[in-house]
């Protein structure tokens, strides 16, 4: 990773978490559930110098929001008045939660804190996050992941693929995991026929398959011009994923469930992935991402992002093996300036920080605690 300047002198004054639930533009039907709205926990980190850093978390289920907020409150108690140093404060928080483990909502809250902290530091330096981290804003290849969930209507599926590409993309992601291989192939072919051979088509099973079934379906998909095969089996079955990497021509993509950089390290040591895509709230925020990017660079593995496109775009711009940004529009309704897409790329904004600024009227409409 590029060299960074010294950290600006900031001290933490307060941290607050607000819970919202926003509707999805496209229903996201996966092999696990169909999502029509998502809970997003907004974090504001205020400093004594009057600068506010921001981040948000995807809570997965609405009931998780109070727990995340409680952990954020505990982090506030641990860090209030302290110098804004991500490494030192991350170590303090990890020690505090060492007995129960930095996992689940603890890991999520820590990541949200870390992202907001880096945002405040970049704002204090008067630089976009990417430049504060030693890089330069540049267009990042992006695919549209807003929809293309499981459905029995192939005509509607094909039409949605065309709509998603029409939003400025040249790549889309399709969820698979139908009851039969025949249905999976039918969905792939319906989408491919509509988008043409030149558009990149990623597919995601969301851990739906056994290893034997993944070998069978993955082998069949090898002939369908698939860009990558994402999480076909249980996310932590690294031996099984390694077997898929060896057997299939289509690259295997893992990473959204890597838990902190040491989780990614274990997967890489098992040769469990051809591509990796860490998730910002599971890998440990900006700090964890930087470690993950170094791991990917050491193995020359292409590295993409999972969710959180606004911040991930900055981070991919300083990732040596930058691959693809996953675009979702979930937070757009809450933002003054959503991230922009043009010619198949996400445009990293030049404004200071990570670019997250809330539309407070919209937040008030969607807030539930």
Residues of the chain above pLDDT 70, percent: 99
For residue range 301-360, what is the model confidence (pLDDT) as tens digits? 999 999 999 999 999 999 999 999 999 999 999 999 999 999 999 999 999 999 999 999
Sign of the torsion angle spanned by Cα atoms 226, 274, 294, 52:
positive
Phi, psi (deg, nearest 5) at residue 300 = 55, 40
Distance CA 286, CA 325 (A): 15
Map residue 31 onto helix, strand or coil.
coil
Mean pLDDT, rounded, of the chain: 96
Tokens matching residue 189: 């072919």
pLDDT of residue 314: 98
Give the chain's end-to-end CA distance (angstroms, integer).
38
For residue range 39-67, what is the model confidence (pLDDT) as tens digits? 999 999 999 999 999 999 999 999 999 99
Distance CA 211, CA 243 (A): 9
pLDDT of residue 364: 98
E strand map for the chain = 12-29, 34-47, 52-58, 140-144, 171-175, 200-204, 228-230, 252-254, 275-276, 325-327, 340-342, 345-347
Q: Once rounded to an integer, what is the mean pLDDT over residues 165-180? A: 97
Place of tokens 């989780």: 263
Q: What is the radius of gyration, based on Cα positions, of the chain?
A: 20
Helix then strand then coil, in percent of the chain rounded to 5, is 40, 20, 40
As a CATH number, domain 12-128 is 3.30.390.10
The burial class, CB within 10 Å (0-12 / 13-18 / 19+), for 233 is buried
The answer, yes or no, to whether residue 33 has pLDDT greater than 90, is no
Tokens matching residue 61: 């289920």
Distance CA 6, CA 14 (A): 23
User: What does pTM read for this prediction?
Assistant: 0.96
Domain with CATH 3.30.390.10 in the chain: 12-128
pLDDT of residue 87: 96
For residue range 73-104, what is the model confidence (pLDDT) as tens digits? 999 999 999 999 999 999 999 999 877 777 88
Map residue 134 onto helix, strand or coil.
coil
For residue range 196-249, what is the model confidence (pLDDT) as tens digits? 999 999 999 999 999 999 999 999 999 999 999 999 999 999 999 999 999 999
pLDDT of residue 207: 97
pLDDT of residue 55: 98
Reported confidence tier of residue 1, pLDDT bands at 50, 70, 90: low
Instruction: Report the candidate in 56, 103, 47 with the shortest Cα–Cα distance to residue 335.
Output: 56
Beta-carbon contacts of 137 under 8 Å, excluding residues fewer than 6 positions away, are 128, 130, 131, 317, 347, 348, 349, 350
pLDDT of residue 99: 74
Tokens matching residue 60: 């997965």
Domain with CATH 3.20.20.120 in the chain: 131-359
For residue range 260-300, what is the model confidence (pLDDT) as tens digits? 999 999 999 999 999 999 999 999 999 999 999 999 999 99
Residues of the chain above pLDDT 90, percent: 92
Reported confidence tier of residue 176, pLDDT bands at 50, 70, 90: very high
Beta bridge partners of 47: 12
Reported confidence tier of residue 369, pLDDT bands at 50, 70, 90: confident
Which CATH superfamily includes the segment(s) 131-359? Enolase-like C-terminal domain (3.20.20.120)
Place of tokens 């959180």: 308
Distance CA 229, CA 213 (A): 13
């Amino acid at each position: 990773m590029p060299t960074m300047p010294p950290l600006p002198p900031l001290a933490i004054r307060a941290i607050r978490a607000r819970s919202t639930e926003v509707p999805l533009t496209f229903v996201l039907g996966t092999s696990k559930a169909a999502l029509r709205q998502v809970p997003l926990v907004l974090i504001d980190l205020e400093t004594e110098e009057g600068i506010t850093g921001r981040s948000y978390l995807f809570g997965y289920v609405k009931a998780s929001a109070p727990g995340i907020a409680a952990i954020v409150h505990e982090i506030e108690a641990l860090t209030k008045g302290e110098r804004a140093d991500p490494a030192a404060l991350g170590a303090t928080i990890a020690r505090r939660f060492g007995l129960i483990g930095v996992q689940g909502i603890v890991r999520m809250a820590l990541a949200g804190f870390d992202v907001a902290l880096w945002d405040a530091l970049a704002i204090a330096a008067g630089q976009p996050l990417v430049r504060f981290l030693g890089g330069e804003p540049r267009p990042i290849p992006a695919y549209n992941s807003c929809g293309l969930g499981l459905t029995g209507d192939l005509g509607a599926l094909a039409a949605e693929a065309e709509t998603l590409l029409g939003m400025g993309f040249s790549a889309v992601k399709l969820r698979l995991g139908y009851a039969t291989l025949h249905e999976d192939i039918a969905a792939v072919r319906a989408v491919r026929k509509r988008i043409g051979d030149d558009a990149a088509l990623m597919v995601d099973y969301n851990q739906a398959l056994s290893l034997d079934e993944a070998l069978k379906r993955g082998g069949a998909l090898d002939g369908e011009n698939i860009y990558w095969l994402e999480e076909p089996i249980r996310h932590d079955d690294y031996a099984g994923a390694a077997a898929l990497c060896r057997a299939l021509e289509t690259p295997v993509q893992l990473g959204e469930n890597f838990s902190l950089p040491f989780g990614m390290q274990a997967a890489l040591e098992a040769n469990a992935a051809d591509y990796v895509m860490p998730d910002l709230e599971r890998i440990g925020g900006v700090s964890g991402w930087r470690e993950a990017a170094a791991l990917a660079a050491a193995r020359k593995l292409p590295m993409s992002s999972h969710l959180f496109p606004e911040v991930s775009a900055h981070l991919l711009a300083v990732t040596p093996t930058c691959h693809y940004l996953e675009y979702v529009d979930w937070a757009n309704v809450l933002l003054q300036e959503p991230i922009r897409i043009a010619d198949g790329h996400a445009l990293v904004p030049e404004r200071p920080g990570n670019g997250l600024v809330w539309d407070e009227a919209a937040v008030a409409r969607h807030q539930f605690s």
